[in-house]
Structure 1
Amino acid sequence: MDVLRPPTVWVAGRCYRVLNPQTATTTTNYAEADAYGFEDSVYQDEVDCTNETDFTVEETGSGRFQTSFPVANPYIPYLIGSKGSTKSRIEKETYTNLKFPGKGQNGNVVVTGKDVRTVRQARLKLEMLVEQARKKQPSTHFLSLPVNTPNIQEKFLEFKKEVLEKCGDSRGVEESIFQEAAKLHLTLCVLVLADDRERQQAVDTLKQCPETVLKKQLGGEKLRLEMKGVEIMNDDPGEVHVLYGRVNALSWSHSIQAIADSVVGEFVKGGLVTRQQERVKAACHSNEH
């Protein structure tokens, strides 16, 4: 392991160092269906919890320590495991007690222990499992910026007409593969929002972006964009499923890349998006088949 560049994991917008890559990359799979009817709970080992966290651990009246946090109900089975195996394992390794909402009920997961460090460690392990569970779910929403001004729509329709006239006899090239001109957009990220709480959190995060992102990046000025050129999603032009337009800012002082990265960063901080790469791929989706 390179001590200067140790392996890391992102959980709820925070980056943690993995202490032991040999054990950290080993997962325990529980193929047997648990009480919730789910399979394949995944457990991640040995993560450094010595760094300061941004959640609160409170001392209870009995001298023990406790933290609680909301978890969407579909993810609870991943935290319990087959016949409670994951729950028991975390409790034994961290000397804590875990309490979960009942089946089909909304509520907080509560972690109780004898000291702050073990409570933090147990919570982080649970949050990592939620991240793993989120990755298994199909996307429910996506975050985008509309790129559908009248002049762009007009140019897009001209492009569509030209393609159909010149390539209409080619494999798969027909009108239905084109996106509606009014729906042209710049995709920033996709999300898995599992319950009303997460959906409301996403709405609140988006409403804060004009203040946290746009005001800082634009300073009240408008961002002028240009969509010019077409790119493909894969490396084989003969097997293309998605074409997208290249989008560039027409101002030296503002960067669409910085704005896109910052907006997605706000959702990463809130734990609604798992950071997959350092930068957002700025592309205007135009047609798909």
Structure 2
Amino acid sequence: MTSVAEPDYWSLLGLPPDSDAKQLKRAFRREARRWHPDLNGNDPVAEERFKLVNEAYAVLSDPRRRQAWETGAVPGGASDDPFASGFPDFEDYLDVVLGRASTSVEPEPVATPRPEGAPSARTEPPVTSPPSPPPVRASEDLESLVELTPEQALYGTTVELTLDGGMVVELDTPPLAGDGWRLRLEGVAAGGCDHFLQLRVVTPEGLRIDGLRVHYRLELFPPDAALGCAVDVPTLDGPVTLQVPPGSSSGRLLRLRDRGLEMDDRRGDQLVEIVIVIPADLGDAERALYRRLQELALEADGL
């Protein structure tokens, strides 16, 4: 079976398609902060994802472009790369995109009347108290890893945890939980600290569960990503053949419709994230080809 992949802007922002403008803006701010290159050490994967987040918000926040994307009339992305000359500072970027105005008001000096002929009073700088030191904690928060099956994450389950000192705690995990969720047990650790449970919901095939959605990282060699390819990917219902479009970069999300978990009358999708990998043991012929590609790229840039 062959599935046709397509970009999914809603899933890229972690939103359902019926989200309103306020939810869209909040999700965009969260994902932009998460993937901004300044906050990720100029990670090329983060740069590519940041561009996709920007593209998703630009399309979904514009009713005309959003309608065109949803109907498939025209491509949703912008034709020009707005970050070709670099990435702006994160806060400045949000000010421009979200239309926030940054203003500051300087306090005006208040003149105090004085009797005629009296000497002028000296103006002393205000005295500010040093910031209070952070509170001292008796011990650090603790964290345990709890592995769940997709079914347990979907419907919720009871987890039994034995703490230091022999205390046994039972906790009901919420339904529609996902891999990486952290649940807090407040004040149960030594010194009144919290104990966190980090949920791990990953199948042996590498499928990560998040509510009804399923996530999968698809590693590709550069030629396959550049030219496109057909590759088998695992799903909860067995492997399917996915057509990867040419020119796919790391961080690109492809959607397999209705390949996620099902609850009541709802069924999620599976999101496939492209990850480009370079073989560690390149041969002489392969190195020569990469060197030639590098030369061609420099020639195209006029260097």
User: Greater helix share, 1 or 2?
Assistant: 1
Which protein shows a greater Rg?
2
Which TM-score tier does this pair reach, normalised by the shorter chain?
under 0.3
TM-score of the aligned structures, taking structure 1 as reference length: 0.21
